[in-house]
Amino acid sequence: MFLIFLLSLITRVIMFSSARHINFLRQTITTLCRNNSTLVIAEHNNQKLIPSTLNTITAAISLGEVTCLVAGTQCKQVAAEVAKVKGVKKVILADNEVYTGFLPEALTPLLLAAQNQFKFSHIVAPATAFGKGLAPRLAAKLDVSPISDIIGIKDKDTFVRTIYAGNAIQTLKSKDNVKVITVRGTAFEAAGHEGGDGTVEDAPSCDVKNDLSQFIGQELSKSDRPELTSASTVISGGRGMKNGDNFKLLYDLADKMGAAVGASRAAVDAGFVPNDMQVGQTGKIVAPDLYIAVGISGAIQHLAGMKDSKVIVAINKDPEAPIFQVADYGIVQDLFKAVPEMTDLVDKN
């Protein structure tokens, strides 16, 4: 009886409503039917996960049951790795040559097919070059607003991020029925590599043809040092280093300390070091246990990328340099004297 009443009510609403009302009704029903379930887009190199995926998984766990998408070429071992991550319930695997280079144009149709089948409430990626390239395209195709670089989650609709080069915190509530989010890795702990027992299944099939772009090749800088965004110690050099050759001072110290080496934008723009070493608002965001800023003045755009570091040490010959306002320890000295002395001390200990 109640069912007949409900059906006749819905029929009447549909008959007498405008398109806008029907759309609202459809959205409400979709939202009611959808449990919170989150898709994490795993970033990897076809062999192993990029560490920021683990931080993204932690963020995703607080939003609902976690499924991970692993898309790439010959990447089955990554799917197996993700399935073991604590909190991951399911892995969907798309292994196809078309995903070579992880191009957003190739991955987006796959994500749309996955969304169509599973109706996720949130789709989440790391706020790295990979995630930042993919999320806006996906959001546009889903007709929702991307929520970029979040540093906190209040509830399933409400997110926290920084604005104005990290000088203000914004809390925003999204009314979109699927949230497309990128997550700042340094703001969330990494999920445990072990402890999960997720299942692995094939991703939904979709038209994998990509006529829009073609992957030609990539030149990756090779380094035995830890990756900048996941290193526990980072030593960065600025314009005060004077030239690229002098960065050897920092590499020597870094190798003794097991640290990664970063740079200010001024050092990158001057051609001292490649731009994948840039820390800051328009570079990488880092939050290591120890950050050593060498010959860096401490402009707000640089601080935006490192001020959440647990301990900050600054070496600068100018006692008025703004970097000393955020530093826990400051050394007012010529860096060409201070850094070799530090390297010797580390050597002796």
DSSP 96: -
Q: Does 239 bind ligand FAD (CB under 6 A)?
A: yes
Residue 178 or 286 having the CB closest to ligand FAD: 286
Strand order in the sheet with 65-72: 168-173, 158-163, 146-155, 179-183, 122-126, 37-41, 65-72, 88-95, 199-202
To ligand FAD, the closest distance from the beta carbon of 335 in angstroms equals 4
Pairing of strands 158-163, 168-173: antiparallel
Question: Other C-beta atoms within 10 Å of 313: how many?
Answer: 18
Minimum distance from residue 338 beta carbon to ligand FAD (Å): 7
Smallest distance, ligand FAD to C-beta of residue 60, A: 27
Cα(270)–Cα(81) distance, integer angstroms: 40
Instruction: Kindly state whether residue 229 participates in binding ligand FAD, applying the rule CB under 6 A.
Output: no
Residues 260-319 that bind ligand FAD (CB under 6 A): 264-267, 278-283, 295-297, 299, 301-302, 305, 316-318
Total residues interacting with ligand FAD, rule: CB under 6 A: 27
User: Toward ligand FAD, which CB reaches closer, 148 or 264?
Assistant: 264
Nearer Cβ to ligand FAD (118/336):
336
In terms of CB distance, is 24 or 329 closer to ligand FAD?
A: 329
**CA 317/CA 338 separation, integer angstroms:** 10
Report the distance separating Cα 222 and Cα 166, nearest Å.
30
| Position among 51, 87, 238, 288 found at the interface with ligand FAD (CB under 6 A) | 238
Q: Smallest distance, Å, CB 304 to ligand FAD?
A: 7
Please measure the distance between the N-terminal and C-terminal CA atoms of the chain and give it in whole angstroms. 82
Q: How many CB atoms lie within 10 A of CB 219?
A: 6
Residue number with the smallest Cβ distance to ligand FAD: 280
- Interface positions with ligand FAD (CB under 6 A): 238-240, 264-267, 278-283, 295-297, 299, 301-302, 305, 316-318, 321, 334-336
